[in-house]
Amino acid sequence: MTASIKGKRVAFLATDGVEEVEYTEPRKAVEAAGGTAELVSIKTGEIQAVNHMDKAGTYRVEKSVQEADAGEYDALVLPGGVANPDFLRMDSDAVRFVRDFFNAGKPVAAICHGPWTLVEAGVVDGRTLTSWPSLRTDLVNAGATWVDETVYVDEGLITSRNPDDLPAFCEAVVERIAARQPA
């Protein structure tokens, strides 16, 4: 990755059940490109990541979503994991936070099960995206066009299917953040 995002702030919205590599690898990519990453969550303290269904590491929450303002960030990343986005979509502050990024026209990236939160935020109608295959029906029912591709970019929305897609996903995330001009 050659793009620089120095001075850019990126929110990572996640909670318990986040797929560890879908959080850690994009975060490393953002930081390696000079950006600042911040873990935002529906809870305070730490979140419990998973490796599929097994417990993995824990990560310190840097800001609660109740206090978070999309205006403070340049982009949003939604990691997957089966439980993580299901918990997020049930939290009105998390849904508002996601919707605020779309309303501001800022880049949003979601991988694997991450797009479930996008469905709840009502922001996929008319969009084309990819995800873990089991989300296809939910996305189509919400008005999206679903494609089976490693990474798909629809304007500022970057999506990927699973951890195998992380190299392409991370590269696309950094490139889109670098390409966005300040408002």
Tokens 């029906």: give the residue.
Answer: 137
Which one of 106, 113, 161, 176 is the catalytic residue? Answer: 113
CB contact set of 161 (below 8 Å; sequence gap of 6+): 111, 112, 130, 131, 132, 133, 148, 149, 150
52 assigned to active site:
no
The bridge status of strand 145-146 relative to strand 151-154 is unpaired
113 assigned to active site:
yes
CB of 17 closer than 8 Å to CB of 121:
no
Rounded Cα–Cα distance for residues 160 and 132 (Å): 8
Which one of 21, 65, 108, 112 is the catalytic residue? Answer: 112
Please provide the DSSP assignment of 7-61 as one string.
Answer: T-EEEEE--TTEEHHHHHHHHHHHHHTT-EEEEEESSSSEEEEEETTEEEEEEE-
- The pair phi, psi for residue 38, each rounded to 5°, is -140, 125
- What six digits make up the tokens of 157? 């929305």
**Could you give the residue numbers annotated as active site?**
112-113
